[in-house]
Amino acid sequence: MTHFSLLLAAALCAAGLTAAPVAAQDEGANLRDASLALRAQVRAAAGIEDWESARRANAAALALQPGHPGLLNNQLVLARLSGDQTAMLGALEAMADHGLTFDLSGLAELDALLELDADRVAAIESRLAVNAAPAGEARLVAEPPLRDALIEALAVDGETERLYLGSVADRRIYRVEPFEPETAEVFAGEAQPVGSIFGLAIDRRNGLLYAAEGAVDITPREAGEEIGTALLALDLETGEIVRRHTIDGAVRIGDVTVRDGVVYASDAEGGRIYRLNGPRETLELYAEDDRFVSLQGLAPARGALFVADYTWGVWRIDPITRNAALLAPPQGASLIGLDGLTADRTGRLFVVRNGAAPVGLFELEFDRFGAELTALTPVLRADSRLGEPTTVRIADGRAFVLNDAQWALFEPDADFGARTDPQILSLPLP
């Protein structure tokens, strides 16, 4: 059996479930189904106050997704509901073990926990404080008046210091000049309509800006308009669409990166990765795997392609076989909720996390052989401006972070008055 088949079998066994043997070609779907089934079992068992069954099912789900903040929180909730204060302390320690944060002052049982073991509570509090400690000093480089655009994508031109911003809610690409950081001009999307823009990358070699085009529920549409997904190639100076690259089977291209004229794009909802070998080439399927769930940023580095998956962590795509291997999370870290990913020219990988607290920018550190992750080191953390950071780009030795996409404020029942203008922060790489 493969590593994932063994992991799945162990998780089902831990939950007290039985399952037929898992075929290799089906293990991706089985992993997703198993995770959903285990979560459903947690809810069902908790609904009849069978706390032990709920706890075992949740532990099995954690075996599939180590460090998942929601599942770690489930541990705490189940301990609270069952009145097991010792288990509450264990759940809080597990959060601290994975580099996450939690506000102990909000626990109604805090006084009881202190009475039970004040030293243990103090140790947990200290570790949580370390996980939340500030890291990095960023400066604001741009704040254009685009609060109603839902800016999701960012590209930085290292030669001109221009910023390019991709919008979901008004289907535009904007350009921000370095000498006018509080204004934005429409770069593309008016004369030649585009869909929502989810990713941007600059190809200086060919004078192009690549954009990931697609649609989600909040994408505005004209009556009867259908919006597909494509990799757009735009003239870097004029914004003219030079070519719209499409491929059969694509669902929604979510992010894009360029290195030495070669383009890679992730299909956020299709479980696929595409490659374009040059502006005149045809978009091709580079990798596909049933285990991919929510592919986000991607970066060629260290002789391979690395891709962030919001659900599972970080995948390494072998350049020869094109097979995907899920990197084990380093000790003391959670790789759940990762979004933007990029690499510098030396192969260092930097990733944005917004699906687990604390959010921020982190470096993925490897052992000297480049085979295993050894640490998730904070580069920018506990900055009051960080809300929902989504994208990171590197230029001139600096990391540029799009720090607050505000997706929730674009839902139909959201408070529209709470939106703020997008901010781009920058800081020198350590």
How far is 275 from 247, CA to CA, in rounded Å? 11
**Topology of domain 139-428, per CATH?**
Neuraminidase (2.120.10)
pLDDT per position as a tens digit, 402-411: 999 999 999 8
Q: Of 1-5, 61-65, 175-179, which gets the smallest average pLDDT? A: 1-5
Mean pLDDT of 141-154: 97
How far is 306 from 249, CA to CA, in rounded Å? 22
Q: What is 3-131's CATH number, 1.20.1280, 3.30.1330, 1.25.40, 1.10.150? A: 1.25.40
Residues carrying CATH 2.120.10.30, the chain: 139-428
Residues carrying CATH 1.25.40, the chain: 3-131
Q: Of 14-18, 271-275, 403-407, 425-429, which gets the smallest average pLDDT? A: 14-18
pLDDT per position as a tens digit, 24-60: 334 555 677 888 899 999 999 999 999 999 999 999 9
